Amino acid sequence: MRTILVLALACLITSTAVAAAPSTSTGRVSVAQLFDLSQRSKTDGAAHGTLVAYLFAVGETVGILADEAKQRGFPLECQRTFTLSEDAAMHALRMAAPDQSAWAETAATPIIVADVLARAGCD
């Protein structure tokens, strides 16, 4: 089942990648890209699908990495469950990268991952 989900997400991301704004010069998803997708997602189904797939993938990956860390003996204690929404992600990006002129070269994923861990109260 998990394999099918991963393949479906990969297809969704691949088919909607054309709708996404440019990423950073190093190929990472940029803050600018996510704000562009968020704005366009209100009227553009492809942009909405891309944003949802990205956020789902980030959230799923944080959970998997946390589980792996625990299984391998790395101390990771969290007070709450992991949560991620478009609003939470956009808020985290605004707080961590307030200078819009830097958005095109600021990687979004590390900011969102750090926010998910912080909101869950992880040590």
What counts of helices (H) and strands (E) characterise the chain? Answer: 5, 0
* Entry pTM: 0.81
pLDDT digits over 52-93, tens only? Answer: 999 999 999 999 999 999 999 998 899 999 999 999 999 999
pLDDT exceeds cutoff 80 at 109: yes
| Cβ–Cβ < 8 Å for 30, 22 | yes
Q: Which amino acid is present at 112? A: I
Taking the alpha carbons at both ends of the chain, their separation in whole angstroms is 32
pLDDT digits over 2-32, tens only? Answer: 444 444 444 444 444 444 555 899 999 999 9
pLDDT digits over 28-61, tens only? Answer: 999 999 999 999 999 999 999 999 999 999 999 9
Contacts of residue 63, Cβ cutoff 8 Å, sequence gap at least 6:
82
Q: For residue 97, what is the enclosing H or E element?
A: none
Contacts of residue 47, Cβ cutoff 8 Å, sequence gap at least 6:
16, 19, 20, 36, 37, 40, 41
Residue % of the chain over a pLDDT of 90: 78
